[in-house]
C-alpha cells in the first residue's frame, strides 16, 4: 500500500503541469549541483586528483555560512563575501600541507589521502557543531512567485541564478586572465607550461584554492533553503562525481548542462515515479555515460 | 600389571568424586553479589545518530545516579550501579563490535540501547548469545518480533506512534469543530519510517479517513519541492509525517516557503519538529508542528520534575525522547533486579531469573512509572509493554508542550494551524 498510491493529478493536463513543475524545480537544483561540480572539475582537471573530500568542503562551507549568518547576523546570500576568502585560504593550506606531497604518488595513495581528509572534516564538524542539524531560519530570498500555473521558490531561483553567474564569471577568469590561462595550460600540458615560466606549484595551489572556495558560494546558496549536518557531504560529493562524469573535463557549459540533466532526472524521478528512485535514476545515467562515452558528453580531453 | 590398572582406576574414580563434590558444593552455595553492578550504555555516540545517542546515554547516567542516591538495589544488599558506555557507531558491524567490547570488558548485568533499530537488531544477536539483558529504546515493531529471550522494551513501538499521531488529529479536530477527512501519509523509507506509517495507515483506515497521498522517500533527500507540490495537489486536510530528523527541517522550511500549508502537519516517531535541536534550527518555522514522544516531559510527578531539572542542568533543555526513554528504562531495569533479588535470592543475577522477574513485573507506581507516559509497565513474552502509549508534543511559542492525551495535557493544542493555506 505504501508508495503505491496513484498520482494526485488524474487529468492529462494535471500530469503535464506536474512534469513541467518538476522540470523547473530540477533545473534550479541542477544549476546548484553544477556550481558544486565546477570546483571538483577544476581540481581533477588540473591536478588529476580525485578529491573525495569535495562534498565535505561543501558541508564545511555550509557550516561556515551558518556561523557567519547566526553569529554576525549576516544575510545568508551575502555570507560568501566572508566564507569565500576563508575557504580559498583553507584550500591553499590543504594543498601545501597534504595534496602537494601526494602528487607524485600512486592513485591509491591520493585516494586514501582525500578519503582521510573527508573523514577528518566530518569529525571536525561533529566536534565543533555536534551531530545536530543546523539551519538558518530566515533569509531575504525565501518566498515564492508564480508564473502561470507554476510556483517558483525564490531561494532555489536565486541560488540557480547565482550559480550560473558564478560559473560564467569563472569561465571568463579561465579564458581572459593570465592566471586562468596558466591553470588551463597546466591542465593541458604541465611540462610545456613549466617551460613557459608557469610555476606549477602555485598554479596547482591556486586551482585547489579556487576549487575549494567555489564551495563557499554553493554552501551559502544551499543554506538559504537547506539544513546542514556532518554527514551530508557524501551526497554532494557523489552527485558532483556523477555530473563531472556526464560533462567530461574542461567545459563549463557542459557542467551546467550536465548539472541540469541530473537535477531534472532527480526531480522527475522523485515527483513522477517514486522519491526513492531519484538516486537510482541519477546513477543509472552515471553508469550509462561511463559505458557509452567514458570521456563525458562534452569533455575536451 | 593388574595392580597398576586398579590403582589408575582408583585415581580416576577419586578425581571424578572430588570434581563432583566440588561442583555440587559450588552450585549449592549462594551466588555472591559483586560490589557494584555494571549497566552498559550502548548508543551511537559518533556519526549521524550521535545526537540521539549522547542524550540517551545521559538519561541512563542520571537514572543510575538517582538509583544510587536512593540506596541502590535494596534486595541485593543495596548494591550500587555503575554505567559503562560504548559507542555503537553507525552500522551493524560496529554495533556488534560495541556489544562484544562492552560485554568482554565490563561484564554488564544489562545493556541499555541502541536507539537505532537496525543497530539494535544487530547487537541483540550478541546479547542473546551472551545471555545479557538488552533494554531497548528503539521503536521499530519488529525488534521484539525476533524471538529474543533477553530483550525488553518498556516504551511504545513505532506503529503506536503512528496511531497516536492520527488519533490526536482526530481528537483535536473534533474539539475545534474542524472537518477532517483527507489525510496524506509521508515517511522516510527505513523500517522505522515504515513502521510508523503502518500504524498511521491502520488508524486512518479504522477511522474512515481517505488517504489521498502516500509516499516514502530517502531521508538524505536534498529537495522536497516536488513532494510538497504533489501533497498540495492532493489537497489533504492534514499530513502525517515520519521524518528522520534532518529531513524534517527541509520539509518544514519548504512547506513554509512554498506557502502550501495544510490544516495540520502531525509528526510521528519523535524525530524532528519538536525536539530542542529542531526547534533551534527551525526558529519560528517550528511553530504548531507536533510529534509523538515516547516520554512525557510534562508528567506532573516529583520524580519527573527531578529528572527534568537534572537533565536541563546538563544540557540546557528539557529531556529529549531518547534521554527520557533511557531514564525510565533504567529505572524499569532496577525494578526487575529488585524483583529478581526477592524471587531468586540464591541466584538473582542469573539472566534467566532476571527474565522471569521481568515477566512477573507489574509496575503501577514508583520512579519508572512516574516518568513513563502511562501508569503501568508490564511485559509480554516477546518483551513488549502492552500498556505503552506515546504522547504528543506541539511547538507553541517556541516551546514543546504536551497536548495529548487531552486528560494529561500541559496545554491546549493549537488546531488547526493558524497559517493554513488550504
CATH number at residue A147: 1.10.3470
Q: Most confidently modeled of A128-132, A142-146, B69-73, B320-324?
A: B69-73
B398: left (phi over 0), alpha (psi -120 to 50) or beta: left
Q: Is B346 exposed, middle or buried (0-12, 13-18, 19+ CB in 10 A)?
A: exposed
Inter-axis angle of helices A233-247 and A54-71, to 10 degrees?
130
The pLDDT tens digits of the residues spanning A6-42 come to 455 556 677 888 899 999 999 999 999 999 999 999 9
Cα maximum dimension of chain A: 67
Backbone φ and ψ for A277, nearest 5 degrees, come out as: -90, -5
Of B48, B211, B257, the CB nearest to A155: B257
Q: Taking CB atoms and an 8 Å limit, are B217 and A270 in contact across chains?
A: yes
Q: Taking CB atoms and an 8 Å limit, are B189 and A155 in contact across chains?
A: no
- Which pLDDT score, from 0 to 100, does residue B33 have? 82
Residue with cell 541466584: B347
- Which pLDDT score, from 0 to 100, does residue A243 have? 94
The pLDDT tens digits of the residues spanning B381-410 come to 999 999 999 999 999 999 999 999 998 899
Minimal Cα–Cα distance from B215 to chain A, Å? 4
Q: Is A139 exposed, middle or buried (0-12, 13-18, 19+ CB in 10 A)?
A: buried
Residue A298 located in a structural domain: no
Q: Name which of A15, A36, A137 to mutate to probe chain B: the one with the most chain B Cβ atoms within 10 A of its Cβ.
A: A137
Of B259, B281, B284, the CB nearest to A134: B281
- Which pLDDT score, from 0 to 100, does residue B244 have? 84
Residue with cell 553492578: B37
Domain B36-156+299-378 shares a fold with domain B159-293+391-408? yes
- Which pLDDT score, from 0 to 100, does residue A14 have? 78
- Which pLDDT score, from 0 to 100, does residue B222 have? 85
Entry pTM: 0.82
- Which pLDDT score, from 0 to 100, does residue B52 have? 82
pLDDT range class, residue A2, cuts 50, 70, 90: very low
The residue of chain A nearest to residue B216, with distances taken between CA atoms, is A3
Name chain A contacts of B233, Cβ cutoff 8 Å: 8-9, 14, 18
The residue of chain A nearest to residue B286, with distances taken between CA atoms, is A137
Residue A301 located in a structural domain: no
| Measured distance between the N- and C-terminal CA atoms of chain A, rounded to whole angstroms | 49
Cα separations in angstroms, B17 against B23, B26, B190: 10, 14, 58
* Element housing A301 (H / E): none
Q: Taking CB atoms and an 8 Å limit, are B246 and A7 in contact across chains?
A: no
Ranges of residues in chain B with a pLDDT under 70 are 1-31
CATH architecture classification, B36-156+299-378: 3-Layer(aba) Sandwich (3.40)
Q: Taking CB atoms and an 8 Å limit, are B215 and A131 in contact across chains?
A: no
Residue A4 located in a structural domain: no
The whole-number average pLDDT for the span A42-63 is 91
**CB contact, 8 Å: A134 with chain B?**
yes
| Beta-carbon count within 10 A of B11 CB | 10
Q: How many domains does chain A have?
A: 1
> Can you tell me the ipTM of this complex?
0.80
- Which pLDDT score, from 0 to 100, does residue A1 have? 39
Residue A152 located in a structural domain: yes
- Which pLDDT score, from 0 to 100, does residue A3 have? 42
Letter string b/e over residues A111-124, b meaning 16 or more CB atoms within 10 A of that residue's CB: eebbeebbeebbee
The whole-number average pLDDT for the span A68-80 is 90
Are the beta carbons of B304 and B371 closer than 8 angstroms?
yes
CATH number of B159-293+391-408: 3.40.50.2300
- Which pLDDT score, from 0 to 100, does residue B4 have? 59
- Which pLDDT score, from 0 to 100, does residue B320 have? 87
- Which pLDDT score, from 0 to 100, does residue B29 have? 52
The pLDDT tens digits of the residues spanning A208-220 come to 999 999 999 999 9
Q: Is B155 exposed, middle or buried (0-12, 13-18, 19+ CB in 10 A)?
A: buried
What are the domain boundaries of chain B?
Answer: 36-156+299-378, 159-293+391-408
- Which pLDDT score, from 0 to 100, does residue B24 have? 47
The interface residues of chain A toward chain B in range 241-280, judged by CB-CB distance below 8 A, are: 266-267, 270-271, 274-276, 278-279
Domain containing A89 equals: 12-292
Backbone φ and ψ for B43, nearest 5 degrees, come out as: -135, 160
Bridge partner residues of B315 (DSSP): none
The pLDDT tens digits of the residues spanning A222-246 come to 999 999 989 889 989 999 999 999 9
Amino acid at each position: 500500500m505504501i508508495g503505491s498510491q496513484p498520482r494526485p493529478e488524474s487529468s492529462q493536463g494535471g500530469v503535464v503541469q506536474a512534469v513541467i513543475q518538476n522540470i523547473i524545480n530540477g533545473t534550479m537544483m541542477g544549476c546548484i549541483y553544477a556550481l558544486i561540480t565546477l570546483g571538483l572539475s577544476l581540481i581533477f582537471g588540473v591536478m588529476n586528483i580525485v578529491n573525495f573530500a569535495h562534498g565535505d568542503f561543501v558541508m564545511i562551507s555550509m557550516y561556515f555560512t551558518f556561523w557567519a549568518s547566526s553569529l554576525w547576523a549576516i544575510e545568508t546570500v551575502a555570507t560568501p563575501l566572508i566564507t569565500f576568502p576563508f575557504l580559498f585560504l583553507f584550500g591553499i593550506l590543504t594543498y601545501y600541507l597534504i595534496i602537494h606531497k601526494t602528487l607524485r604518488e600512486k592513485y591509491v595513495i591520493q585516494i586514501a589521502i582525500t578519503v582521510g581528509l573527508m573523514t577528518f572534516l566530518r569529525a571536525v564538524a561533529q566536534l565543533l557543531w555536534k551531530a545536530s542539524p543546523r539551519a538558518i531560519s530566515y533569509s531575504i530570498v525565501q518566498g515564492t512567485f508564480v508564473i502561470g500555473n507554476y510556483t517558483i521558490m525564490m531561494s532555489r531561483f536565486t541560488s540557480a541564478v547565482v550559480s550560473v553567474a558564478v560559473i560564467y564569471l569563472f569561465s571568463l577568469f579561465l579564458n581572459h586572465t593570465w592566471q586562468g590561462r596558466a591553470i588551463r595550460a597546466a591542465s593541458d600540458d604541465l611540462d610545456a607550461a613549466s617551460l613557459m615560466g608557469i610555476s606549477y606549484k602555485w598554479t596547482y595551489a591556486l586551482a585547489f584554492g579556487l576549487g575549494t572556495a567555489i564551495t563557499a558560494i554553493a554552501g551559502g546558496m544551499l543554506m538559504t533553503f537547506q539544513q546542514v549536518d556532518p554527514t551530508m557531504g557524501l551526497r554532494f560529493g557523489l552527485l558532483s562525481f556523477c555530473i563531472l562524469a556526464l560533462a567530461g573535463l574542461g567545459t563549463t557549459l557542459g557542467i551546467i548542462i550536465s548539472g541540469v540533466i541530473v537535477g531534472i532526472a532527480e526531480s522527475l524521478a522523485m515527483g513522477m515515479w517514486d522519491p526513492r528512485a531519484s538516486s537510482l535514476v541519477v546513477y543509472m545515467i552515471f553508469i550509462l555515460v561511463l559505458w557509452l562515452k567514458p570521456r563525458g558528453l562534452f569533455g575536451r580531453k | 600389571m593388574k595392580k597398576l590398572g586398579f590403582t589408575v582406576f582408583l585415581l580416576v574414580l577419586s578425581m571424578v568424586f572430588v570434581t563432583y563434590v566440588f561442583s555440587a558444593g559450588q552450585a549449592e552455595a549462594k551466588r555472591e553479589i559483586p560490589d557494584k553492578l555494571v549497566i552498559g550504555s550502548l548508543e551511537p555516540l559518533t556519526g549521524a545518530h550521535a545526537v540521539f545517542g549522547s542524550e540517551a546515554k545521559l538519561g541512563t547516567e542520571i537514572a543510575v545516579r538517582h538509583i544510587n542516591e536512593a540506596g541502590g538495589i535494596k534486595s541485593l544488599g543495596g548494591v550500587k550501579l555503575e554505567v559503562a558506555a560504548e559507542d555503537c557507531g553507525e552500522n551493524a558491524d560496529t554495533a556488534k563490535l560495541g556489544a562484544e567490547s562492552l560485554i568482554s570488558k565490563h561484564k554488564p548485568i544489562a545493556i541499555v540501547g541502541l536507539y537505532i533499530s537496525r543497530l539494535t537488531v544487530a547487537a541483540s544477536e550478541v546479547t542473546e548469545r551472551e545471555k545479557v539483558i538488552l533494554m531497548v529504546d528503539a521503536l521499530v515493531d519488529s525488534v521484539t518480533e525476533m524471538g529474543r529471550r533477553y530483550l525488553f522494551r518498556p516504551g511504545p513501538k513505532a506503529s503506536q506512534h503512528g496511531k497516536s499521531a492520527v488519533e490526536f488529529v482526530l481528537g483535536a479536530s473534533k474539539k475545534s469543530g474542524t472537518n477532517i477527512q483527507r489525510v496524506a501519509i509521508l515517511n522516510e523509507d527505513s523500517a522505522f519510517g515504515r513502521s510508523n506509517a503502518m500504524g498511521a495507515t491502520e488508524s486512518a483506515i479504522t477511522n474512515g479517513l481517505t488517504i489521498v497521498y502516500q509516499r516514502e522517500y530517502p531521508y538524505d533527500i536534498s529537495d522536497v519541492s516536488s513532494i510538497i507540490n504533489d501533497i498540495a495537489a492532493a489537497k489533504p486536510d492534514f499530513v502525517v509525517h515520519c521524518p528522520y530528523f534532518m529531513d524534517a527541517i527541509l520539509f518544514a522550511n519548504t512547506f513554509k516557503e512554498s506557502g502550501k500549508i495544510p490544516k495540520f502537519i502531525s509528526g510521528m516517531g519523535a524525530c524532528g519538529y519538536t525536539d530542542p535541536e529542531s526547534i533551534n534550527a527551525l526558529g519560528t518555522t517550528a511553530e504548531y508542528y507536533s510529534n509523538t514522544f515516547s516520554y512525557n516531559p510534562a508528567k506532573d510527578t516529583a520524580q519527573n520534575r527531578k529528572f527534568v531539572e537534572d537533565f536541563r542542568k546538563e544540557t540546557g533543555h528539557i529531556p529529549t525522547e531518547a534521554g527520557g526513554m533511557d531514564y525510565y528504562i533504567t529505572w524499569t531495569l532496577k525494578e526487575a533486579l529488585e524483583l529478581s533479588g526477592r524471587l531468586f535470592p540464591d541466584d538473582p543475577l542469573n539472566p534467566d531469573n532476571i527474565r522471569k522477574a521481568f515477566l512477573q513485573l507489574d509496575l503501577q507506581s514508583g520512579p519508572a512509572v512516574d516518568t513513563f507516559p502511562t501508569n503501568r509497565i508490564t511485559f509480554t513474552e516477546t518483551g513488549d509493554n502492552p500498556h505503552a502509549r506515546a504522547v504528543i508534543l506541539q511547538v507553541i511559542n517556541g516551546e514543546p508542550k504536551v497536548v495529548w492525551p487531552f486528560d494529561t495535557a500541559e496545554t491546549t493544542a493549537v488546531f488547526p494551524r493558524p497559517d493554513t493555506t488550504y
